[in-house]
Amino acid sequence: MSERKINLEVLRYDPDKDSEPRFQTYKAVPCQDDWVVLDALNYVKDNTDTTLSYRWSCHMAVCGSCGMMIDGEPTLSCKAFLKDYGDTIRVEPLYHFPIERDLVTVIDDFVEKLTKVKPFLIPKQPKSIEEGEYLQTPKQLKKFKQYTLCINCMLCYSACPQYGLIPDFLGPAALSLAHRYNIDSRDGGCQERMKVTATNIGVWECSFVGACSEVCPGHVDPASSLQQMKIASTVDWYKKRLMPWSKS
Amino acid sequence: MRNPYTREIPKYTWYLRQGRYVRYMAREVTSLFIGLHAFLLICGLGALSQGEVAYNEFLAVLESPFYVVFLIVALLFVIYHSIAWFNVTPQAMPVQVGEDFLPGGIIIGAHYGIWAVATIVVLFLAGVF
Ligand code: FES
């Protein structure tokens, strides 16, 4: 296997010493052909600079913890093959989140928003354990399955200019997860979620830039769920006014 | 000690950061022409409601070079927006048949089909055929 020398320009930030982040270049990092950016960072951490901080765990695009801006694009660093990049690669923490240290971001805002949309099953008809499980056909499962594949990697928030400009926006991943439950045949919590999701910090803040779906590593296509929620919210609005007697 | 650093987003130039934002802004800006064109149509309806003389005056105004250029530009943007919208319809309106979802191409194709039919109907009503 051949070796290639890569320059890594990494945005560093030490909260104890730095007043603002600064770029540091690790020159001629010896990399193998089949490495990903995360491998190059690991090499630097193991051999050159032990102070470099970043998050990662699975190294297989499953845990969602290694998201970074790589050459300006929100990317999972464990999925970013060096062969697809030039000899100098710029690595920064994900946009739109405060920097905790180096490439580590603070994602508390997302976690807070996630709880707001009640991302759990609110049963249509609550059952006791003795009554058995909530059954579902393969067709009903397939309807929402795509939206269960989110790994909370935050690439969509980092790509979404609306979230960057309007921090109150609930954002793609949290809303997609709300949608995942709304269209689950066992769920009856749509109206409750709509109190938060069908507002101008919810789906109506989305202007369908579509960047979230372009960067999503799990092909969840968050933009699709938000557009579907807009349609549902519109139908609901008209229904309540034109057919006040109908239960939605 | 924790001291998280928040990076500012350039308020007026943020969209220059990525090609996809520039494309998005192009879509947003060109939609102004769609709005203006819709406004023009409403003015036309207003003129029509006031009788033949008013409507003919309205039509005469539209023949000035300014409006001819505007209408051509607006038409190009309407086509651009129609295509852009059709392309995203599978995302906004997925159709599940049996277990599987209809391929996006069919949903997009159906929109083009309806577009073609609507165009023929309008041309027919306008007496082109
Ligand atoms: S390390 Fe788990 S997603 Fe990259």
Contact flag A161-B21 (C-beta cutoff 8 Å): yes
Is A199 in the same domain as A223? Answer: yes
Is A78 in the same domain as A61? Answer: yes
Contact flag B4-A15 (C-beta cutoff 8 Å): yes
pTM of the model as a whole: 0.92
Chain B residues with CB under 8 Å of A224 CB are 91-92, 94
Domains of chain B: 1-91 (1.20.1300.10), 93-129 (no CATH)
Q: Residue A64: CB within 6 Å of ligand 1?
A: yes
Is A58 in the same domain as A91? Answer: yes
- The domain in which residue A215 lies consists of 108-242
Chain B residues with CB under 8 Å of A103 CB are none
- ∠ Cα A60 A62 A66 (to 5°): 75
**Any CB–CB contact under 8 A between B17 and chain A?**
yes
pLDDT tens digits along A128-175: 999 999 999 999 999 999 999 999 999 999 999 999 999 999 999 999
Residue A2 is predicted with a pLDDT of: 83
> What CATH number has the domain bearing residue A180?
1.10.1060.10
Is A118 in the same domain as A182? Answer: yes
The preferred substitution site among A45, A63, A75 for testing ligand 1, maximizing ligand atoms within 8 Å of CB, is A63
H helix runs in chain A, sequence order:
37-47, 108-116, 138-145, 155-159, 161-165, 172-182, 190-197, 211-215, 222-242
Q: CA Rg, chain B, in Å? A: 22
**Complex prediction ipTM:** 0.87
Taking the centre of ligand 1 as the mean of its atom positions, its distance from the CA of residue A55, in whole angstroms, is 8
The structure tokens listed for B19 are 């090609």
From the list A16, A224, A171, the residue with the least C-alpha distance to B5 is A16
Is A232 in the same domain as A159? Answer: yes
From the list A212, A215, A150, the residue with the least C-alpha distance to A181 is A150
User: Could you tell me if residue A67 is inside a domain?
Assistant: yes
pLDDT over threshold 70, residue A248: no
Domain count, chain A: 2
**Any CB–CB contact under 8 A between B20 and chain A?**
yes
